[in-house]
Amino acid sequence: MSTTPSCSPSSSPRKRKLSDAGLDTEIPNEIIAEIDNESRIDLLGDDIKEQATKLRARAVRAVENPKIDHDDLRDSWKTLLMLIDSRTKASAVAKAHKAEVAALRSQVQEYFFLSQIGDWCHGFQNVFKKYEGRFKGEWTKALKITLQEQGLSASVAAKVSESYKDFFATRPYRVTKTLDLLRPEIENLKNWCANGKAGTPPATPYLDRVDGLCKRYKVDRQSYLDLLPSCGRRDTMFHNACPQLEDYFDDSRNVKWDEVWAACQKRKGIAQQQFVQGRIDEVQLAKIKQVINFWFGVHVSGWNEDGSAILHDDIKSLVSDIKSSSPKDPDKIPDSPYEEGKWDDLM
């Protein structure tokens, strides 16, 4: 006598949930639970919330009413879920668009602000740059006298004083360079104060020089430091300068033309990204690449087998002029002794 084998779990028919009255309640209860757990319903508008409320009420009635079609109930929920998904995606797109519009508006405001303030900042910076040459002369003379009072001979004192001849904070530099010199000192000063002024006070020779310039014109140093970054941002935003050859000097003050070419290629890459982002069109992209190649071609006519650049004769003279006029890194940086109250204006 054969026996019928028991069904495995995977092959057995799914058991339906029945109510006390013997009604199939699985689908209605699932829909009720899914609606209750769908957190997006309350976020997507009153119409979605109203449809979900009505559908849930139908599902509740279906638990006790066998005449309500469960398949139709499930299809209605699937349709509503599709609408929820679509509305969620549309909401995300709208949110991203709103954020993009806000960012563009902020950028336009920044452009306008910097166009209004930039020239004023350059105006006072140019005054500082012009005066710093005379200030350095006065400072060097005072240092020489101090050194002689400390016992050095006149010749030695003069030599020591002269060793600081290339130290400047503003005169030979672009605003961005001056900011690069000041920011590390400001950061070190903030850290020192944050640590309860423990340990050796930081050296701030560039802040000291700026303080001397500000005192000359009876303006406060903090205002200068507050305003100068706007000048730097204006220059960076409005001027996409070609490579400055003095920025590519090696230790012998010869131009590293391979690095200049690499900088040109990098600028082309930035333009390509701007094209992909829709900030410039295809014609403008081609024009930017054209001008970069043209600029480099004016300087370099080709490359030697050893990789060195072949320069036009006039460019050799231009580089020589840049060498003689571009600022050198100072051989020595002045001491920056701490005095009580030295940075009170910055605290």
DSSP-based three-state secondary structure for 84 = helix
In this predicted model, what pLDDT tens digit does every residue of 158-176 receive, in sequence order? 999 999 989 999 999 989 9
The mean pLDDT value for 90-106 works out to 91
When mean pLDDT is compared over 162-166, 181-185, 235-239, 326-330, the highest value belongs to 181-185
**pLDDT tens, position by position, 231-246:** 999 888 887 789 999 8
- Would you say 186 and 179 are in contact if contact means Cβ atoms under 8 Å apart? no
- Give the burial string for 182-217 (b: 16+ CB within 10 Å, else e): beebbeebeebeeeeeeeebbbbbbbbbbbbbbeee
Its pTM stands at 0.66
Amino acid at 76: S
Q: What whole-number distance in Å separates Cα of residue 309 and Cα of residue 256?
A: 9
Which of 51, 47, 40, 39 shows the shortest CA–CA distance to 89?
40
Percent of the chain whose pLDDT exceeds 70: 93
For residue 22, pLDDT over 60 is answered with no
Average pLDDT over residues 199-226: 94
Mean pLDDT, rounded, for 46-55 = 92
pLDDT of 7: 37
Average pLDDT, integer, range 50-71:
89
